[in-house]
Amino acid sequence: YGAQFSARGTGFYAEDPGATHRDSDWSRKDVVVLTSGEAEARLVNDEGILANRALTLDATGDILGLYLSKAAKSNRYDAEDEVKRLRAALPKDLFTQLPVHAYILMFHLDLHHYLWVHVDEMRPYRYQPELKKKLILPREQTDLIDILTAEMDVLMDDIVAGKSGGTTVLCAGPPGVGKTLTAEVYSEIIGRPLYRVHSGQLGLTVAAMEAALKDVLTRAQRWGAVVLIDEADVYIKRRDDNIAMNAVVGVFLRVLEYFNGLLFLTTNRVDDIDEAIVSRCIALIKFHPPDAEARRRIWQVMTAQFALEVTPAQIAELAELFPAASGRDIKGLSKLVSKFCHQKKLAPTLDVFKRCSVFRGMDIGAPPADPGDGPINHAQGIRP
């Protein structure tokens, strides 16, 4: 239980996985496509919550009797008495219910829904600790991740003993600078599922938020998963004279007191975080837009990821050409250029990057002079 799997194909929605009888799930057969495109769905085995592992065709086991009842409504039988006689003549133990063990109760980490998934559709998830190479951050921040990873056994010993009350890391900074990626890479390094929740999924009222947050943290603790609450601004905002907002922050703090697990919070409010939140975090990581060297490294990683054949000189020019680009901007532009070049059968030149940057709303700076390329019209961002 709690292991992560990758899956393709389809599954069935599990409407009430905690109930004793779940036959309605099986008979309804609400099919859901697990994933689209090349990516695989991320699922967690949560069969441990089942009180009675019986997923069968009907609740009573009277299979033929059930179908005779349906037949009574058709034109095959003229009288209801005839159906009753046939049903009474059937031995009670003619058929025996058997659990359908080929279907496993899984939680879809992207859809946030329970599903019944056939074992043939799944395989164990392969964690990728090598993704750390794609996390371009200042040395002190990568050192922190190394420390948290190296001391994982110590942290978990404290958690099991009930001494630490959980481990919370707060990531603050502008959009697109690597806050979410940090949590994703950390979960891959330690080999645990990442349970990512956006703040908007937790409800609009204090009561709804408290109930939803408790459900999320309970699942994560059961799985040993890393929790990421994205855009948690509303829950960690510094308290003032707004009673409603203060109640949200207060409830959030109270729920965290009982969470014995690993939690990442991300926020864009760098200077508006409640002191009580900060005091409960093992680390506060402040993210900043990448400098020229970091941009160069990000361009190198992203162009390689999207199979763009660019030279080191072009990468250096791109780092200077888009001085305000964040990591997300660089990834988005690289992906757009890759699609553009594939469609138009073009090489990924600087002109193509500048042309596509218009659709990303990215500001173009002054690139290094290159006499061979001709003069640059900076007003338009393209060469004549």
All structural domains of the chain:
4-61+97-124 (2.30.30), 129-286 (3.40.50.300), 292-373 (1.10.8)
pLDDT at 152: 55
Measured between alpha carbons, how far is 117 from 125 in angstroms, rounded to an integer? 15
| Low-confidence residues in the chain, pLDDT < 70 | 15-29, 51-83, 86-87, 90-101, 149-165, 366-384
pLDDT at 328: 94
pTM for this model (two decimals): 0.76
pLDDT at 223: 93
pLDDT at 165: 58
Residue 230's contacts (CB-CB under 8 Å, 6 or more residues apart) are 180, 196, 197, 198, 199, 266
pLDDT at 59: 41
Mean of the per-residue pLDDT values for the chain? 80
pLDDT at 311: 94
Dihedral angle, C-alpha 203, 264, 332, 330, nearest 10 °: 150
Task: Supply 67's token pair.
Answer: 């179908």
Find out whether 257 and 37 touch, Cβ atoms under 8 Å.
Answer: no
What is the end-to-end Cα distance of the chain in Å, rounded? 62
> Which residues pair with residue 12 across a beta bridge?
31, 116
Measured between alpha carbons, how far is 196 from 98 in angstroms, rounded to an integer? 36
pLDDT at 64: 53
